[in-house]
Amino acid sequence: MNTSGEVSIRPIAIIGGTGPAGMGLALRWARAGEAIIIGSRDAQRAQQAAAAIQLRAGPQAKVSGMENSEACAAADILVLTVPFEGQAALVKRLKPAMTDGSILIDATVPLAASVGGRASRTLGVWQGSAAQQAAELVPDEVSVVAAFHNLSAELLGGDSPLDCDVLVCSDDPDAAQLTRELAAKIPGVRAIDGGKLENSRIVEQITALLIGLNFRHKGHAGIRITGLPSGAYR
Ligand SMILES: NC(=O)c1ccc[n+]([C@@H]2O[C@H](COP(=O)([O-])OP(=O)(O)OC[C@H]3O[C@@H](n4cnc5c(N)ncnc54)[C@H](OP(=O)(O)O)[C@@H]3O)[C@@H](O)[C@H]2O)c1
């Protein structure tokens, strides 16, 4: 996979992109010049969401909306922003539409709220994490990256820089690097190599902690990793 300078001409399909997390990422990347496809189970809802992003990002932005499987087939960078309860069934359904060499960037957090529990707790996932569950379901030629779990969707959907680091976990170094480049396009975000995909279990759980902190202190908590050499944040 070529990661040198080609990010801006390849569309990014955000699957489940009509929710706050997907819309926030779409807005930030559209402003950074990325071509965005918003995916939804409903093409019309996707187009409405795309129009809303286009309005905010400006006339130069490249944003369109499609049904999820069409979005999947039209891009080789896929970002998954759906609730955990829908993740596995959706990935299985989209599998035939995924092209060889694609990367799937998974932001799913297995919150207990998915089964009626508390949002400040995570569920145990048999595979270890939601991202590892996705990795088990995609075609062999598709690389899975876990990222963006700890960004507040509310802040992403605003206009100010974020005060948060993004930990990127994957077993594919090239896919991880491309994802870090995309993360670094969000103002205020530093992207850090978080190691193997199995580390996504820990990163996903941090989100539940952040949600608990938000409840307790009425804020929008994020994370910053300190003490690493500057090269770690590239
Ligand atoms: N919100 C945050 O601050 C935040 C931050 C980091 C990570 N996350 C994680 O990112 C994911 C998305 O978060 P969100 O708050 O944007 O979620 P959301 O609003 O609940 O859902 C996002 C979109 O997913 C689609 N969807 C809902 N249920 C589905 C199902 N059963 N099957 C397939 N698609 C379904 C819907 O789009 P359509 O109806 O248009 O198909 C919905 O607009 C979650 O896993 C969340 O834990 C969220």
pLDDT digits (tens, 9 = 90+) for 127-174: 999 999 999 999 999 999 999 999 999 999 999 999 999 999 999 999
User: Which residues, 6+ apart, have CB-to-CB distance to 77 below 8 Å?
Assistant: 10, 11, 12, 13, 102, 103, 105, 178, 182
Tokens (6 digits) for 44: 């019309």
- The continuous run of DSSP H or E covering 220 comes out as none
Q: Is 15 in the pocket of ligand 1 (CB under 6 A)?
A: no
Mean pLDDT of 4-27: 85
Q: 23 CA to middle of ligand 1, Å?
A: 10
The residue whose C-alpha atom lies closest to atom 32 belonging to ligand 1 is 86
User: Which of 82, 85, 111, 114 is the best mutation target for the ligand 1 pocket, counting ligand atoms within 8 Å of the beta carbon and taking the most?
Assistant: 82
The residue whose C-alpha atom lies closest to atom 47 belonging to ligand 1 is 109
Whether the CB-CB separation of 87 and 133 falls below 8 Å is answered with yes
Q: Is 152 in the pocket of ligand 1 (CB under 6 A)?
A: yes
Whether the CB-CB separation of 107 and 81 falls below 8 Å is answered with yes
Whether the CB-CB separation of 211 and 180 falls below 8 Å is answered with no
Q: How confident is the model at residue 4 (pLDDT cuts 50, 70, 90)?
A: very low
Q: How confident is the model at residue 111 (pLDDT cuts 50, 70, 90)?
A: confident
**Overall pTM > 0.75:** yes
Q: Which residue has the tokens 């990793």?
A: 225
Q: Is 111 in the pocket of ligand 1 (CB under 6 A)?
A: yes
The residue whose C-alpha atom lies closest to atom 43 belonging to ligand 1 is 19
Question: What SS3 state is found at 138?
Answer: coil
Tokens (6 digits) for 62: 């490249």
d(CA 84, CA 17): 14
Q: What confidence tens digit (pLDDT) does each residue in 184-227 have?
A: 999 999 999 999 999 999 999 999 999 999 999 999 999 999 99
Could you state, in order of their start, the residue ranges of all structural domains in the chain?
7-222
Question: What SS3 state is found at 198?
Answer: helix
Q: Is 45 in the pocket of ligand 1 (CB under 6 A)?
A: yes
For the 7-222 domain, the top CATH level (class) is alpha beta
For residue 219, give the amino acid letter.
G
User: Which residues, 6+ apart, have CB-to-CB distance to 234 below 8 Å?
Assistant: 180, 184, 191
Q: Is 109 in the pocket of ligand 1 (CB under 6 A)?
A: yes
Atom of ligand 1 nearest to the CA of 18: 43
Atom of ligand 1 nearest to the CA of 41: 41
CA angle 113, 21, 82 (to 5 degrees): 55
